[in-house]
Amino acid sequence: MNFKSKINIVEGMWVKCKQCNKIIYNKDLEENYYVCPECNYHIRLSAKVRLKQTLDENTFEEMYSEITTENLLMFEGYEEKLEKSKMESEVDEAVIVGCGNINNIKVAIGVMDSHFMMGSMGRTVGERITRLVEFATENNLPLILFTASGGARMQEGIISLMQMAKVSAAIVRFKEKGGIYITVLTDPTTGGVTASFAMEGDIIISEPKALIGFAGKKVINNTIKEDVSDAIQTAELLLKKGIIDEIVDRKNIKKYLSDILDINRGTHYDG
């Protein structure tokens, strides 16, 4: 046997955990919901994988995909960055919205994707989510949003910041009609998303060790002239302080959501 010969490994067959450096067979990782079996590190998911894990098979119907992004402020290089993100993430924007079933309960659901420009929120993200909220309001559906964002999209300036108020206003109208709104915070949930709809859920849950905050650690350090701990922006601290309701392992999220929806079934909306 020639021990000097190289072993050919199919690209993508193995994954290295970013937290503990364990080498994991990709099929095993997929079966474990893309959570490291060694250290429980929750690898960031694409929106499509998240929807597959959360909804009943073949029940998802995407909505508002016709709303696309334009370079309204003529920001240099924006179109190129959008095209690159589309190729690398295999989605056309930082959120996918639509309807589907969770254990036979129909819901309106939106999932943000950090692989597309770090899940940044621009006009298209805000408009898709707003229309989803309005659809849920009109059709008496529970609303679930999975958040993952680096904040507002700088290439769209004030237009991106306006989405915070627009989505929040739609959620107020949804709640006034008696709808239940559940947010699932995933790593990372920061910036304008945290400052608006991520924290407006009737029930707010998070995946373990998710980074959740408004300003980044460097910004905080420079503002208060003091080095703060990394722990101040973790899901665990937010749970301890009563800001979120529960931390749920990814493999249990569908059942957790299903239990909430089942308890709430028949009680939300006055008709």
- Give 189-231 pLDDT, tens digit per residue: 999 999 999 999 999 999 999 999 998 777 777 787 878 777 7
Whether residue 12 is predicted with pLDDT greater than 90 in this model: the reply is no
Distances in Å between the Cα of 146 and the Cα atoms of 11, 16, 17, 31, 128 are 30, 25, 23, 21, 14
Mean pLDDT of the chain: 92
pLDDT of 8? 44
Among residues 236, 166, 231, 229, the alpha carbon closest in space to that of 200 is found at: 166
State the average pLDDT over residues 51-80: 97
Unique residue bearing structure tokens 């964002």 = 149
Q: Is the pLDDT of residue 15 over 80?
A: yes
Q: What is the pLDDT of residue 5?
A: 40
Strand 61-63 with 95-102, pairing = antiparallel
149 forms beta bridges with 189
Dihedral angle computed from the Cα positions of residues 213, 214, 215 and 221, in that order, rounded to the nearest 10 degrees: -50
Give the pair of three-digit tokens for residue 215: 């300003």
Mean pLDDT of 164-169: 98
pLDDT for residue 126: 98
Residues 221-233 as b or e (16 or more Cβ within 10 Å = b): eeeeeeeeeeeeb
Q: Is 6 a residue whose pLDDT tops 70?
A: no
Secondary structure of 101-140 as H, E, C letters? EECCEEEEEEEECCCCHHHCECHHHHHHHHHHHHHHHHCC
* β-pair type (181-189, 143-149): parallel
What's the confidence (pLDDT) of residue 2?
45
Name every residue whose Cβ is closer than 8 Å to that of residue 81 and which is 6 or more positions away in sequence. Answer: 117, 155
**DSSP codes joined into one string, 13-75:** SEEE-TTT--EEEHHHHHHTTTB-TTT--BPPPPHHHHHHHHSPTT--EEE-TT-----TT--
The yes-or-no verdict on residue 28 having pLDDT over 80 is: yes
Cα separation of 194 and 171, whole Å?
A: 14
Give mean pLDDT, residues 180-191. 97
pLDDT at 269 over 90: no
Angstrom distance (rounded) from CA 133 to CA 167: 8
d(CA 35, CA 137): 34
* pLDDT classification of 267: cutoffs 50, 70, 90: low
Rounded to two decimals, what is the model's pTM?
0.91
Between CA 202 and CA 109 the distance in angstroms is 15
Q: How confident is the model at residue 4 (pLDDT cuts 50, 70, 90)?
A: very low
The pLDDT value given to residue 11: 56
Q: Dump pLDDT digits (tens) for 44-54.
A: 999 999 999 99
pLDDT digit string, tens, across residues 112-162: 999 999 999 999 999 999 999 999 999 999 999 999 999 999 999 999 999
Beta carbons of 133 and 167 less than 8 angstroms apart: yes
**Which residue ranges form the domains of the chain, and what is each CATH number?**
11-43 (no CATH), 44-264 (3.90.226.10)
Residue 114: the pLDDT is: 97
